[in-house]
Structure 1
Amino acid sequence: MLAIKLWNFLYGYAIIKIEGLSIERFLNIVISKNIYVWDVERMNHTTIVAKISLKGFKLLLPYTKMTNCRVYIVEKRGLPFIVFYLKRRRMLVLGAIACVILAYIFSMFIWSIEIDGGQNISEASIISELDKLGLKAGVLKSSVNIHKIQQEFLVDEKDVAWIGIDIKGTKAIVKVVKKTAPPAVLDENVPCNIIAKKDGIIYKMTVLEGDALKKVGDTVKMGDVLVSGIIERPNTNTRFVHSMGTILARVWYEGYADVNLVQQKYKRTGRKVTMTKISMGSSTLTLLSRKIDFKNYDREVRNLTSSASPIKIINETYYETVPIEVKLTKDEAEKLAVESALKNISSAFGKDAKIVNRQEKMTMINANVLRADVIVEVIEDIGTQENINYNAEVKIERSNN
């Protein structure tokens, strides 16, 4: 049935109205003559509506006279009539085609850049740096090397710990994590509090000096006072001390990485060029110098003399390579993506932090790109010292628990 309907659509069909007192006889005759009629619907006792092919409609005339019925075309449908309609409106068709082509062309470019870096990041400076590296509004998406831009951005911006670039449609979403500056070490004679430098849930507290205002299991926000350097006791004067201690907390970090399932690698062809160089100070002499006409090559350097020798004999070998495409398996791609995601977010927490839990989610961005979203839970010291401001009124909030 579906094939027949598709055939009639391609060759055209008509919606017809049949009127008369012998409609049933008319339909029986038509069907017996192998004239296909479908979607028959009775409107009233003397009228029905049906669909018929254009060829079949031309064959109805003899049977209408035989049964004294009248047949009218209500509507013509199908590809031939659509084409005929469009031919009469060529400018409309050309305009629609032009719109589709322009929409496709514009979708190949990046038209906006969204910066997600928190309050401590200057969006203007990030956009300016990305512009220098080739990521800007109006650039062709295929010309953007995300991996290269991320690497060069981290080299140029010393205060940035991690950057992630994700292109969605015509928008580039840039996420930036700023490096956490090491806390200033306060003199032991300077009264201070210990405050939270990150959000988290307290896992363990070791307070050597000062009054703990939080306890294990409490949820804290960045800036909360964890250990107070203001000591107040009944019937004694208030003392100001240099708070000391370790506040371990559970902190969560989220990151992602994309991996292309088709990796480009370089394979040696077997051709090579070897040269020997004699070096003394800043002077270098090449024996039997040869031209390296390889488009791609690996270079291996081997020192034939001891490191203490004033004269160095160096053997250089250039191996020709050619690019080849390697298809990663799903397991290989997932492993590589997770490792890259962990590497991206590892700079956000200290080297002494301990990962205690990890959640992974894999998504195919397109046919060849796999994305790993990783959430890690770490135990790390979130306490940092902060001077007590004597000029401000200090209010100590103690837990009722």
Structure 2
Amino acid sequence: MVAIKLWNFLKGYVIIKIEGLSIEKFLNLIMVNDVYIWDIERKNYTTIVAKVSLKGFKEIVSFAKKTNCRVSVISKRGLPFVISRLKRRKSLVLGAAISLILIYAFSTFIWEINIETVNNVNEKVVLEKLSHLGLKPGVSKFTIDVNKIETEFLLQNNDISWIGINIKGTNAFVKVVGKTKPQEVLSKDEPCNIIAKKDGIIYKMTVLEGEAVKKAGDTVKAGDIIVTGIIEKPGLETRFVHADGQIIGRTWYEVYADAELKKEVFERTNNKITVTKIIFGNNTITISPKKVDFKNFEKEEKEIISKNFPVRIIKEVYYETKP
């Protein structure tokens, strides 16, 4: 079925209206002479509408005269008519061709660099360093070696643990993760105590070094000593050690929040508006049958063409909602 429709489009056809009192005789002549005609629809006793090939249309004109029927063209469809219209609009065709060439040319460049940083990495510094490595707005995508830039960036910046560069369309998405400073830990030779960081109850504890001040089941407050590094025993010299052990405790948190006693629930009506957006770089063309003037609505968004394509087409559907 699709192949037939495509063939009819390539060859061209016309939608015609046939009027007269001898329509049956007219149709018989068409059938006898093997004229290709389809989608015949009878409007009333004296009128039918049908589709006929260009070659067939030339033949049925003579049949109309023989049967005293009148044939009029409602619409012309297919590639031959498209080409004919384009020939009359050479400047339009030329402009469209130039536009396509420019779109393709611009799509081979990077126009925007998006930076995402983790662990207090300065975005401006990252942009400057990437620019020195060759990744900057206006550069051709064909000249960018992502792996090389990532490697060089890490070698030149000891405070960075990871960088990822992902090129999509005319955008470059860069994520940079900074190194986290290791937590300061006292030397094993330095005497110290183990203290409670939060209020809580000791669930389980194992002392490896030092003297236990608290035991499992005890309640402690923040700052209380759990294991002391001062070991005092009668008749022995006082020792100062680095308290060590594993302490597992239970603590609690208080959270307050406000909740509505009543909540209004909105449901979709049968009204909706579809908006199509064509996006190229920072330019957006919006195609909408009318303004979205719903007081309350839900929005669904679907990307028709992949982000990897230089021109993005996004379909937005707005559904009216009412309580």
Classify the secondary structure of the residue corresponding to 2:184: coil
Task: Give the equivalent residue in structure 1 for 2:112.
Answer: 112
Task: Give the equivalent residue in structure 1 for 2:161.
Answer: 161
Classify 1:110/1:205 alpha carbon distance in 2 versus 1 (closer, same or farther; 3 Å). farther
Alpha-carbon distance, 1:25 to partner: 2.2
Classify the secondary structure of the residue corresponding to 2:34: coil
Task: Give the equivalent residue in structure 2 for 1:67.
Answer: 67
Q: How many residues align?
A: 220
Task: Flag structure 1 segments of 5+ consecutive residues without an equivalent.
Answer: 196-203, 213-226, 234-241, 249-364, 367-401
Give the distance between the partners of 1:51 and 1:243, measured in 2 at CA. 95
Q: How does 1:217-256 map to 2 (within 5 A)?
A: 230-231=223-224
Alpha-carbon distance, 1:2 to partner: 4.7
Classify 1:140/1:87 alpha carbon distance in 2 versus 1 (closer, same or farther; 3 Å). same
Give the distance between the partners of 1:84 and 1:52, measured in 2 at CA. 19
Task: Give the equivalent residue in structure 1 for 2:85.
Answer: 85
Give the distance between the partners of 2:213 and 2:114, measured in 1 at CA. 44
Classify the secondary structure of the residue corresponding to 1:110: coil
Classify 1:93/1:166 alpha carbon distance in 2 versus 1 (closer, same or farther; 3 Å). same
Alpha-carbon distance, 1:43 to partner: 1.7
Task: Give the equivalent residue in structure 2 for 1:149.
Answer: 149
TM-score calculated relative to the size of structure 2: 0.60
Task: Flag structure 2 segments of 5+ consecutive residues without an equivalent.
Answer: 227-241, 249-306, 309-323
Amino acid in the other structure paired with 1:155: L
Amino acid in the other structure paired with 1:30: I
Classify 1:182/1:192 alpha carbon distance in 2 versus 1 (closer, same or farther; 3 Å). farther
Amino acid in the other structure paired with 2:98: A
Classify 1:243/1:9 alpha carbon distance in 2 versus 1 (closer, same or farther; 3 Å). farther
Q: How does 1:1-400 map to 2 (within 5 A)?
A: 2-118=2-118, 120-186=120-186, 188-189=191-192, 230-231=223-224
Task: Give the equivalent residue in structure 1 for 2:229.
Answer: none
Give the distance between the partners of 1:121 and 1:205, measured in 2 at CA. 40
Amino acid in the other structure paired with 1:231: D
User: Which segment is superposed worse, 21-30 or 166-175?
Assistant: 21-30
Classify 1:179/1:21 alpha carbon distance in 2 versus 1 (closer, same or farther; 3 Å). same
Task: Give the equivalent residue in structure 2 for 1:306.
Answer: none
Measured against aligned partners, the alpha-carbon deviations of 1:312-331 in whole angstroms (never above 9, x if no partner) come to: xxxxxxxxxxxxxxxxxxxx
Classify 1:15/1:5 alpha carbon distance in 2 versus 1 (closer, same or farther; 3 Å). same
Measured against aligned partners, the alpha-carbon deviations of 1:261-287 in whole angstroms (never above 9, x if no partner) come to: xxxxxxxxxxxxxxxxxxxxxxxxxxx
Indicate the percent of aligned positions where both proteins have the same amino acid: 51
Measured against aligned partners, the alpha-carbon deviations of 1:69-108 in whole angstroms (never above 9, x if no partner) come to: 1111112121111111111111211111111111111111
Give the distance between the partners of 2:129 and 2:33, measured in 1 at CA. 78
Amino acid in the other structure paired with 1:230: G
Task: Give the equivalent residue in structure 1 for 2:293.
Answer: none
Classify 1:243/1:137 alpha carbon distance in 2 versus 1 (closer, same or farther; 3 Å). farther
Classify 1:127/1:205 alpha carbon distance in 2 versus 1 (closer, same or farther; 3 Å). farther
> Are the aligned partners of 1:210 and 1:230 in contact in 2 as well (CA < 8 Å)?
no
Classify 1:192/1:207 alpha carbon distance in 2 versus 1 (closer, same or farther; 3 Å). same
Classify 1:96/1:128 alpha carbon distance in 2 versus 1 (closer, same or farther; 3 Å). same
Relative contact order, CA 8 A, sep 6+: which one is greater? 1
Give the distance between the partners of 1:137 and 1:229, measured in 2 at CA. 53
Alpha-carbon distance, 1:45 to partner: 1.8
Give the distance between the partners of 2:213 and 2:153, measured in 1 at CA. 42
Classify 1:57/1:190 alpha carbon distance in 2 versus 1 (closer, same or farther; 3 Å). same
Measured against aligned partners, the alpha-carbon deviations of 1:165-213 in whole angstroms (never above 9, x if no partner) come to: 1111111111111112122234644887769xxxxxxxx997758999x
TM-score calculated relative to the size of structure 1: 0.49
